[in-house]
Amino acid sequence: MHHIVIRRSPEHRAQPYPVPRTPHASAAPNGAACVWTPPADVFEDELSFQILVEVPGIASNCIDITTERGLLTVVADRTAPEADGNKPTTGAGASAKTLRKELRTGHLKRGFVLPKNADTANIKAHCENGILTVLIPKLAKTAPRKVPIDSTVQ
């Protein structure tokens, strides 16, 4: 059985799953938007690997999934409602003052080191209800083959 290794963020070393369910966030250099790592679950069966990543409030067309040299990376940006011009208002129509801000915003990135038997050419993904599902098929097993020796060739 092969395992997918989860990378919390590019600056952290790879860790085998499970990882803590608490999202990891780190301040971006020069005060830019926060880089955060959403929680993920990884499953495996006989035919495939499945990765579920929490991406609440992010449209599927704003999520990028790439594979390169055995690393699958999920990248997206989530903006605050105020940044989109949708600042909450009170019933009287005046702009509301922020009293508490807990919703994560900024740039998210999550990396997964794929095993050698992952079929990266046939990865499929879909996003529904804030959960990104990535299905990674396994390559077909190749059984060792005995090569016959032809003794009639001179």
Q: Is residue 47 part of a domain?
A: yes
Specify the number of domains making up the chain: 1
Helix then strand then coil, % of the chain, to nearest 5: 10, 40, 50
* Residue 64 belongs to a domain: yes
Domain assignment present for residue 75? The answer is: yes
Is residue 58 a part of any domain in this protein? yes
Average confidence score pLDDT of the chain: 79
Q: What local confidence, expressed as pLDDT, does residue 50 receive?
A: 98
Query: Does the residue 80 lie in any domain?
Result: yes
Neighbouring residues of 7: CB distance < 8 A, sequence distance ≥ 6: 13, 14, 15, 71, 110, 111, 112, 113
Whole-number pLDDT of residue 55: 94
- Residue 94 maps to a domain: no
Q: Is the pLDDT of residue 124 over 70?
A: yes
Other C-beta atoms closer than 10 Å to the C-beta of 87 total 12
Is 51 part of a structural domain of the chain? yes
Q: What is the CA radius of gyration of the chain?
A: 22
Predicted local distance difference test score (pLDDT) of residue 35 = 81
Helix (H, G, I), strand (E, B) or coil at 85: coil
User: CATH number for the domain including 36?
Assistant: 2.60.40.790
Q: What's the domain range around 17? A: 5-84+102-137
The pairs formed by 25-28 with CB atoms below 8 angstroms and a separation of 24 or more are 25/104, 28/106, 28/107
Per-residue tokens: 74: 């999920």
Amino acid at 71: L
Residue 69 lies in a domain: yes
* pLDDT tens, position by position, 10-36: 444 444 433 333 444 555 444 445 688
For residue range 53-91, what is the model confidence (pLDDT) as tens digits? 999 989 999 999 999 999 999 999 987 766 555 666 656
